[in-house]
Amino acid sequence: MARLTDRPPVPPPGSPFLPPAPRPQLPPAAPALQQRATAALLLAVLSLIAIMLIGNLQRARYVLEVACVVALVGFVLAISAMRAAKRSGTRRPRASLAALLLGGLCAAFAGFAAIGFLIFGAQFNQYANCLNAAGSSTAAQNACQTAFSNAVTARINHLGGQ
């Protein structure tokens, strides 16, 4: 009969001070997946540039909507490249993580800003027209800023039911 002390010997555990053994390297992603990830990154960067270069407040809503759609397309392309690489057992394409993060952030920012333009569209148009009429006069620009701030506050109070 076997005794409790007749267990097979357990190998000694690895030292906690030594790094673990390296995992085998996966093969690189297919060129088509790398190109898809690069295209996703370029779309995300294009969306970011479009958001940063909004100069006309009257067209900002449309630029933000297009930037949001472009960023979402880049986001979806990055996810599809990462999933295809995982399914095929290869490494993740190089640009896919950057495209995923940048596309997601740009889409979120552009989406929230577009919603803000939808809610406060009349106030933004009035502000843009006021600034165009003010020209380079600092006092008139300050008056436009004050009027815009008051109009937005009144709109928020109206939406809040106060």
Please check whether residues 90 and 127 belong to one and the same domain: no
Per residue in 104-135, pLDDT tens?
999 999 999 989 988 998 998 899 899 889 98
Is 143 within a domain? Answer: yes
Banded pLDDT at 2 (limits 50, 70, 90): low
Please check whether residues 59 and 46 belong to one and the same domain: yes
Is 3 within a domain? Answer: no
Per residue in 56-72, pLDDT tens?
877 888 999 999 999 99
Kindly report the pTM of this predicted structure: 0.76
Percent of the chain as helix, strand, coil, to the nearest 5? 70, 0, 30
Task: Tell me the pLDDT of the chain averaged across its residues.
Answer: 89
CA gap 75, 151 in Å, rounded:
36
Report pLDDT for 92.
94
Please return the burial class of 122, using the count of CB atoms within 10 Å of its CB with bins 0-12, 13-18 and 19+.
exposed
Is 10 within a domain? Answer: no
Is 26 within a domain? Answer: no
Please check whether residues 93 and 78 belong to one and the same domain: yes
Please check whether residues 128 and 112 belong to one and the same domain: no
SS3 annotation, 125-140: HHHHHHHHHHCCCHHH
Domain that holds residue 93: 32-119
CA gap 121, 145 in Å, rounded:
15
User: How many folded domains does the chain comprise?
Assistant: 2
CA gap 108, 99 in Å, rounded:
14
